[in-house]
Amino acid sequence: MMKKISVISGGSGGLGLAIAEQLAGKGKNVLLLGRNANKLEEAKRKVEEATRKLTEAGKRPDPGSDNSLIRTMVCNVGNESDIRNTGQFLQDHNLITEYLFNNAGKGHFAPATEADSETIDNIFEGSLKGLILLSSEILRITPEEEELTIVNIMSTSALLGRDQETIYCAAKWGARG
C-alpha cells in the first residue's frame, strides 16, 4: 500500500522546518531533505516535539488515527545523483509525494562587481538547478492518477532586482520562470 508524503527541500531549518511542523501537526507524513545529517536529525526531533505538544493539547485532528511519519534524507538538491537517490528511496518505501515544497536555496549579498563563476554556480545550484531537478524527479515517479501539488518557495527577489543581490535575484527570477 502506498503512503502519501510531503517532501520539503531545505527542511533542516527556517521556513522548511516551520512547514514540516505545520504539516506533521495536521497528520501528514513528511520527508525533510537537506545537506547536513546532524541538522536534519535535530529538525526531525523538533517536528516530533511540536507534534507531541499539539497532541497533548488536543489540537491535532484525530491524533489516534494516524502515525505521522517523519523522515530525513541527506540530499543536495543541486546534485543529480542525490536527487535520483531520493526518488529511489520514495519508490522503495512505497511513498507517493502529495506535496513538494521546493524551499532549498542560498542567499548571496554582494555587489555585481564581485560575481564569479564559483559564486554563481553555488547560488544557482540550490535556488534554480535544484528546484528543476527535484521537481522533475518527483514528477517522473508520481503516478499519473495521483494528485501532486508543487509549491516553489520564492522571495521578493523573484520580483524585484536589488543591487546587492544580483546573482540571487537572477536565480529566483529563473525559478519563477
Return the number of other C-beta atoms located less than 10 Å from residue 163's C-beta.
9
pLDDT tens string 133-145? 999 999 999 999 9
pLDDT tens string 57-112? 877 665 444 557 899 999 999 999 999 999 999 999 999 999 999 999 888 888 88
Smallest Cα–Cα separation from 31: which of 138, 144, 107?
138
Predicted pLDDT of residue 7: 98
Predicted pLDDT of residue 142: 97
Predicted pLDDT of residue 96: 97
Residue 33 DSSP one-character state: E
Predicted pLDDT of residue 161: 81
Measured in residues, the chain has a length of 177
Residue 37 to residues 64, 87, 160, Cα–Cα distance (Å): 30, 18, 34
Backbone dihedral angles phi then psi of residue 72, each to the nearest 5 degrees: -130, 155
CA 61-66-71 angle, to 5 degrees, is 110
Q: Domain containing 170: what range?
A: 3-176
Predicted pLDDT of residue 24: 93
Predicted pLDDT of residue 61: 60
Q: Is the pLDDT of residue 129 over 90?
A: yes
Residue 153 cell numbers, joined:
518557495
- Looking at the structure of the chain, the number of domains it has is 1
CATH number of the domain enclosing 40: 3.40.50.720
